[in-house]
Amino acid sequence: MLDIGLQHYLALSAVLFSIGLFGALSRRSAVAILMAVEIMFNAVNIAMIAFSRFVTPTLLTGQVFAIFIVTVAAAEVALGLAIVISLYRARESVDAGEANLMKG
Amino acid sequence: MEVGVGIAFWGLAALSVFSALFVVFLRNIFRAALLLVLSFLSVAGLYVLLQAEFLAAVQVLIYAGAISILIVFAIMLTGDVRQGNPAIRHQWPVFALALAVLGAILFAIFKTSWKVSSEAPIENSTVGIADALFNRFVLPFEVASVLLLAAILGAIILVRERE
């Protein structure tokens, strides 16, 4: 129970990922969806670093990958929030269900 | 030592999972953003347990610092606090999907026999990360800087006031 191994970290990562998935699919506000996506990014990073720590402890490839994920997440959240703000200017709402300009 | 690591893991894991649940379920979106910071900080603690000190510092600086500040700004600029954090009408299919995904991943995790290495991890990982980033992964590193530049320009153009 107190002997923590790879599977503990992977299970925690899976739980966080599912919480983020549920949040990203069930919220209406675009900002809340972005917050849930950030939780999912965090879950993936935990799995990546746990693999790096337990499977290849002498290589740091997993940690380098996690750094790139953080970079992409930062770019994603900056652009996502810019889109949210311009959506709010155009429609006075950040409800993802009402953003249907490109609906056929 | 091992027992302390175990207790720290369970404490931090519970903290991150519960704060993530609050982020998803709280009605007040501003409080949800504050609990998101708590979730980020507990994940930083988990990185310390995994002996990734540099990534723990990056997590605190970029996630708990920069990204959460951006999210709070977006909440304030869009008047989201008044609208709260409403859910879609039919939540149960989404809940079932998330549970199914969780079950599938957990099944895969516990059915696979992982080749866990017994070697001791690198003592000072920051030096090793710098070496890897600037030698072996120098091309992705430069591409990431171009990506960040494109993201900055895109964000400026998207939120610029039209004349």
Report pLDDT digits (tens) over A46-95: 999 999 989 888 888 889 999 999 999 999 999 999 988 888 888 777 78
Q: How many domains does chain B have?
A: 2
Q: What is the CATH number of the domain that holds A33?
A: 1.10.287.3510
Distance CA B78, CA B80 (A): 5
The residue in chain A having the minimum alpha-carbon distance to the alpha carbon of residue B128 is: A60
Q: What is the ipTM of this complex?
A: 0.90
Minimal CA separation from B118 to chain A, in Å: 8
Count of A-B CB contacts under 8 Å: 240
**Token digits for B32?**
């949800």
**Measured CA distances, B94 to A33, A46, A95 (Å):** 14, 24, 18
Q: Where on the phi/psi map is residue A92: left (φ > 0), alpha (ψ -120 to 50), or beta?
A: left
Interface touch B114/A26, C-beta < 8 Å: no
Q: Does the beta-carbon distance from B122 to A60 stay under 8 Å?
A: yes
Assigned domain for B110 exists: no
Q: What pTM, to 2 d.p., does this model score?
A: 0.91
**Domain presence at residue B39:** yes
Range of the structural domain that residue B6 is part of: 1-86
All residues at 6 or more sequence positions from A38 whose CB lies less than 8 Å from its CB, including other chains: A20, A73, A77, B36, B40, B63, B67, B71
Q: The domain containing residue A52 runs over which residues?
A: 6-94
Point out the residue among B10, B23, B128 whose CB comes nearest to the CB of A39. Answer: B23
> How many independent structural domains does chain A possess?
1
Considering only CB atoms, which chain B residues are within 8 Å of A96? none
A102 within 8 A of A90, measured Cβ to Cβ: no
Share of chain A above pLDDT 90, in %: 54
In a mutational test of the A interface, the residue from B12, B17, B35, B55 whose CB has the highest number of chain A CBs within 10 Å is B55
Contacting residues of A for B155, CB less than 8 Å apart: 78-79, 81-82
